[in-house]
Amino acid sequence: MSLNVQYEGSRRTHLRHEMSANIRRCAYEQLAAGGAESLSMNAIAKKLGVSGPALYRYYASREELLAELVTESWEELAARMEETAAGASRLSAAERFRAEAQAYRRWALDSPHRYRLLNGSRFGTGALDPERIVPAAHRTMIVVLGALVEVSSPRGLRPPLTPELSAQLLAWATSRRPDSSVPPEVLLRGLLAQTRIHGVVSLEIEGYFDQLGIDADLLFDHEVDALLA
Amino acid sequence: MSLNVQYEGSRRTHLRHEMSANIRRCAYEQLAAGGAESLSMNAIAKKLGVSGPALYRYYASREELLAELVTESWEELAARMEETAAGASRLSAAERFRAEAQAYRRWALDSPHRYRLLNGSRFGTGALDPERIVPAAHRTMIVVLGALVEVSSPRGLRPPLTPELSAQLLAWATSRRPDSSVPPEVLLRGLLAQTRIHGVVSLEIEGYFDQLGIDADLLFDHEVDALLA
């Protein structure tokens, strides 16, 4: 293989990556403007000045493009959470947890269209790739558990954990990481961190608390403190 | 006005109501099959064997039909909550709250497509009518607060309620019902009941806990008991 062919190959790969990224950027803009309903392959092709068939060489279907957006969003959120944890490594575990919770919330508030996509999509159905989504969701959970496991002298759970749920939590942790030694109470706190924060954030991005005249900041802080209490 | 004209008028009103109900039933079936994206006025007209223009005499646009589905869903959920509370009136307040929480969850599990619609829609935007949605959401909250306010000797909130959030909660209650005497701690518990239950249920309908191997029943029961603790 001549150097010229190698160069051509790497240039093509580069252009291909650039085009894929442009397609996804266009798609996110459409989602931001009108939700998942407004995502249109034709409109993307038109915007980028390429033909329909050219576009379908990158993403074989609208479904496939949507799946890629969901997966990429999970991965970006995971990376954001890891950066936040690293940046807060000198803080106390409780402060680190607060910073992580706010980073998660900020990601959702900055791109509500992507947050809706991320949580409105089912693992293992359609074109979604669990081989990428599950690890990304897992990375986010690892970050959260890292802070929660360190929270000094956590008070006992109220109500106490039942043996049945405890066994399921341990089986979940072991399936993800066979050497896991995270206690079931911390695993439950991690799972509740996810459901409770999602409960507030998913209603906040729809303007629900504005409607009630409640400052979402205050409600969110209360929930985060309750998880640490 | 002759009796005949009166009869004709009431018959027309009846047929009109029947047709509207058929349109909505068709629309819900489409939502159940393919989500909000799949809602199509043309497909509904075809299914009901009427012309496009005839259909638009009932709902002037797809947006208007969708808004009616959201509003009707809120009202049906409110009615379900009120029936549950009435049916559980002889139980203890804690048991009544558990029954209400399960009724809410069951409604979502029975029709996830309607639950997604209900919480993915913004009050006060588009064709949504806050004059109907806000009262329906309010009826649901009244039911929940009715049980929570009676829970015998509620332990103090952990963490305690801040004065700022307390003031906002009281202003919210007063705006809805000027003679309200529900304490701010109970109002917060009511709001947290909503966000926490939504947090679990909205992830449950997407199959999230199946993915983890966690029985959603057990997690849900824990959250409900935590709200009563």
Chain A residue whose CA is closest to B113: A120
pLDDT tens for each residue of A15-61? 999 999 999 999 999 989 877 778 899 999 999 999 999 999 999 99
Distance spanning both ends of chain A, measured CA to CA: 64
Chain A residue whose CA is closest to B117: A120
Chain A residue whose CA is closest to B40: A37
Which residue among A169, A207, A219 sits closest to B191, beta carbon to beta carbon? Answer: A219
Radius of gyration of chain A (CA): 21
Q: Which of B119, B224, B176, B169 is nearest to A218 (CA)?
A: B169
B225 close contact with A: CB closer than 8 A: yes
Interchain contact, B226 vs A195, CB within 8 Å:
no
Which residue among A164, A200, A218 sits closest to B164, beta carbon to beta carbon? Answer: A218
Model confidence at A79, in pLDDT bands (50, 70, 90)? very high
Interchain contact, A213 vs B172, CB within 8 Å:
yes
Per-residue model confidence (pLDDT) at position A124: 47
The torsion angles phi and psi of A61, rounded to 5 degrees, stand at -160, 165
Model confidence at B200, in pLDDT bands (50, 70, 90)? very high
Considering chain A, what percentage of its residues have pLDDT values greater than 70? 93
pLDDT tens for each residue of B25-68? 999 999 898 777 788 999 999 999 999 999 999 999 988 898 89
pLDDT tens for each residue of A120-140? 766 545 677 778 888 888 999
Which structural domains are found in chain B, ordered by start?
A: 1-59 (1.10.10), 63-228 (1.10.357.10)
Mean pLDDT of chain B: 90
Give B-chain residues touching A140 at CB under 8 angstroms: none
Complex ipTM tops 0.85: yes
A135 close contact with B: CB closer than 8 A: no
Q: Flag whether pLDDT at A141 surpasses 50.
A: yes
**Stronger pLDDT, B181 or B133, i.e. the higher one:** B181
A171 close contact with B: CB closer than 8 A: yes
- Angle at alpha carbon of residue B81, lines to B79 and B82, rounded to 5°: 65
Which residue among A119, A159, A175 sits closest to B206, beta carbon to beta carbon? Answer: A119
Give the range with max mean pLDDT: B89-103, B110-124, B125-139.
B89-103
How near does any CA of chain A get to the CA of B134, in Å? 9
As a whole number, mean pLDDT of residues A1-24 equals 83
Chain A residue whose CA is closest to B159: A226
Give B-chain residues touching A188 at CB under 8 angstroms: 222
CA–CA distance, A202 with A198 (Å, rounded to integer)? 6
Classify each residue of A148-169 as buried b or exposed e, where b means 16 or more C-beta atoms within 10 Å of its C-beta: bbebeebeebeeebeeebbebb
- Name the least confident of A44-53, A136-145, A153-162, B20-29: A153-162
